[in-house]
Structure 1
Amino acid sequence: MMSFQDFLPSDTPKYRYKSYDECLQLFEEKYDELKCEEDPLGQAYNPYFIMDVDECSFLDCFVYSGERLLTLSWEIYDHVSQSTLLRMESSQHAVAIGAFTTIFSAWARTVPPEVENTSTRTVRGATRTKRADISWAPKNMPRGLSHKWPTFVGEVAWSEPRSKLIADMKFWLNDPGSCVNAAITISVLRGRILIEKWETSGNQTPSPSQALEICRNPKHGFPQVSGNLSINFADVFLRNPDPEKGEEDFILTETDMHEMADQVWSFQYDS
């Protein structure tokens, strides 16, 4: 079974949970490191660290404590190893999430009130508990499908390795109880933003099936935006669209990419 160390840098710090107060102090120190060490133009800082913690303490400290620095930090809890993957979220990461969510919301909410933003929802899989950076689901799931699982998810990568994205997609698309039909990743790289749609067949490792990319300074003769990306209406709403009501698939446009890039790059390069 894959461990956190399998998809993170070898120097990723690891700690053991001792108490709520010590954990909060550690996070305050990590946040100061992030502000001092993060390169606004690159990925010099590894925002991840691992903490060994029993499930009861994990829930008390990171899920139900009400302390935003802690409740927003956890990404995955592994029930087998009894450890959690924690992340100090950068501003660039948050801006990318917000930019895409605004674009997707404009499409999803053309059919009110059928689907909702579920990005704060905790999802328990076969061996891990996780939440997505971006997630949407019908307000009323059909009988037989868990209301805990979203139908659409997105993960944003600012400084994590490619192997981390693949592990995330395996959880969302391959878990036995998953209801996820569409999954994307948004990679904020040096001078470009890459959005990929992932798919899987059976229990195979997911791989990108569509991609859309915008380059800040493309080479002469090359377009600034290239590729295509769409999400089927039925994959999110769990029903077919009604064209007479203007219901249609989500298509990420060149204009959308420019709007998202403007927000991310204005922060990334003007910091």
Structure 2
Amino acid sequence: MAEPETQNGYLDVGGSFLKELPSSIERYPYEGERSFLRIFNLKLNSHESSGHEKDNFILFHTSREMIETLLNPDNESTTLTKNCSSFDLDEELILIKMPSPEHSSAIAAVDHAIMAAILPMGLFDSLNGYPNATIQGQTRGKQPDQGWGSIRPPCGCKRTPSVVLEVAWSDSHSKLNSDVRFWLNPADGNAKTCLTLRVDKRQPAIRIENWRPQNGRPHRVQMIQVTKVSNHITVTNDPLTIPFEDLFLRAPSTPAERDIEISHQALQVIAEKIWDVQGF
């Protein structure tokens, strides 16, 4: 059965960016830094004590002018700017992500796997990482959980990530779909590949989806599942493949340069690192 908004591996374009996120994401008016920190810390402490929060996000509503002021890059970094996942000036919304050990371990594990895959190509020092770098489109912006791009992009290309990663709990369909739309929209993220990683809260299972633009729409070209039952780990549809040109924005120029492949074993390691933090 197709997930909402997904038909034949394609995502519909357009629609709301943040306004139609799941109702499980708590919503508050932004009423100044003191009020924001109180809500943020209450949510953070609740998550750390229970480990079973419905969502790792909070949505704040405020004016367009306030968003521009709060996220002005010339201002000193704050808790809000460090944890701002997304914003939309037209919808007047800011999405804040709550840090968690599961989230951090997933990001680090995928980053390590990608860097290990390009090491034999002699390109380890040719790639930039973009953890939590704000990429702004026309009226909205996002921070990827992680992003990668060439240190020396071709003339005319911006220094922004060409491959990005977004991590969320497995029930966050609309959140991740919104992320994919942003990153693969030429007017917004303008990435070539968007990877999403869904972590199951209740059992040792992760799902990685590989999205690329096709026919003007985001298209899921690959879906990998890693599960564990009775200490037996199953990986489906491996390896995870990222086209070389998507990552470096150029064609391979030596025999060693090829598409990036995250192997069966590497995918298993990614999952095990996440499960270790979850206690599975």
TM-score in terms of structure 1 length: 0.85
Cα–Cα, structure 1 residues 26 and 61, in superposed 2: closer, same or farther, change >3 Å? farther
**Matches for 1:211-226 after TM superposition, within 5 Å:** 211-217=223-229, 224-226=234-236
Query: Could you tell me whether the CA contact under 8 Å between 2:180 and 2:211 is conserved in 1?
Result: yes
* Letter of the 2:18 counterpart: F
1:230 is aligned to 2:244: no
Residue 32 of structure 1 corresponds to: 45
1:106 and 1:258 mapped to 2: Cα distance?
A: 14
Residue 107 of structure 2 corresponds to: 97
Q: Choose which of 173, 180, 185 in structure 2 pairs with 1:162.
A: 173
Alpha-carbon distance, 1:208 to partner = 1.7
**Matches for 1:28-67 after TM superposition, within 5 Å:** 28-39=41-52, 44-55=53-64, 57-58=66-67, 61=70, 64-67=75-78
Cα–Cα, structure 1 residues 16 and 196, in superposed 2: closer, same or farther, change >3 Å? same
Aligned residues: 259
Aligned sequence identity (%): 25
Structure 2 residues without counterparts, runs of 5 or longer: 1-14
Cα–Cα, structure 1 residues 34 and 18, in superposed 2: closer, same or farther, change >3 Å? same
Structure 1 residues without counterparts, runs of 5 or longer: none
Cα–Cα, structure 1 residues 101 and 59, in superposed 2: closer, same or farther, change >3 Å? farther
Find the residue that maps to 1:240 and give its secondary structure: coil
Q: Choose which of 158, 177, 186 in structure 2 pairs with 1:146.
A: 158
Query: Could you tell me whether the CA contact under 8 Å between 2:149 and 2:248 is conserved in 1?
Result: yes
Q: Choose which of 118, 122, 127 in structure 2 pairs with 1:115.
A: 127
Alpha-carbon distance, 1:56 to partner = 5.4
Find the residue that maps to 1:7 and give its secondary structure: coil
1:154 and 1:269 mapped to 2: Cα distance?
A: 23
Alpha-carbon distance, 1:135 to partner = 0.3
1:20-75 deviation per Cα after TM superposition (whole angstroms, max 9, x unaligned): 22212221111111123333xxxx522222112345544655664434x4333211
Cα–Cα, structure 1 residues 32 and 65, in superposed 2: closer, same or farther, change >3 Å? farther
Cα–Cα, structure 1 residues 240 and 200, in superposed 2: closer, same or farther, change >3 Å? closer
1:74 is aligned to 2:87: no
Q: Choose which of 178, 187, 195 in structure 1 pairs with 2:198.
A: 187
- Supply the RMSD in Å over aligned alpha carbons: 2.4
* Letter of the 1:7 counterpart: L
Alpha-carbon distance, 1:112 to partner = 4.3
